[in-house]
Amino acid sequence: MKRSSNGGLVYSTETGRMCPDCRQPVSACSCKQAKAVPAGDGVARVSRQSKGRGGKTVTLVKGLALDPLALAVLGKQLRTACGCGGTVKDGVIEVQGDHCDRIMEELKKLGHQVKRAGG
C-alpha cells in the first residue's frame, strides 16, 4: 500500500484542526499558513446594517488588524458589554441590535482607534 505525501491527520479531538504542512495544531502552527497577516488597517470602523437580514439590525465592526483568536475574544467582550448575541465572520464582528455608540465607547476603553462608518 502506498502512502500519500498529502495524507495524515486532519482533525484531532484533543487539539482541533491540524496544519497540513507542519502537522501541528493550527493554534501552534510553525509554517507560513498560520502566520498570515490579519487584514485591516488598525482603525475600527463601526457601522449599522439591516440589509439582507430580514429587517433585523446588526452592528458591524471592521478593519481591526487582529488575528482570528484575538478577534473572537474582542467579539465576546463587545457582546457581553451590549448584553446581546452576535458572531465573528471573515474578520468582521457582528453584534445583534443597534449598539454603535456603546461599542465605540467600549473599543476606546480598550485602546483601539475608532471611526463611525455609514450614516
Asked if residues 63 and 45 have their Cβ atoms less than 8 Å apart, the reply is yes
Pick the CATH number of 43-116 from 3.40.50.150, 3.30.780.10, 3.40.50.300, 2.60.40.1120: 3.30.780.10
Residue 31 has pLDDT above 60, yes or no: yes
Over residues 35-58, the pLDDT tens digits come to 455 566 778 899 999 888 888 999
Largest CA distance in the chain: 63
Helix 68-82 / helix 100-109 crossing angle, nearest 10 deg: 120
Over residues 92-108, the pLDDT tens digits come to 999 999 999 999 999 99
Domain parsing of the chain, residue ranges:
8-36, 43-116
* Overall size of the chain counted in residues: 119
The residue whose grid cell reads 482570528 is: 68
CA 108, 71, 29: angle at the middle one, nearest 5?
140
Confidence (pLDDT) at 106: 92
Cα–Cα distance between 95 and 53 in angstroms, integer? 13
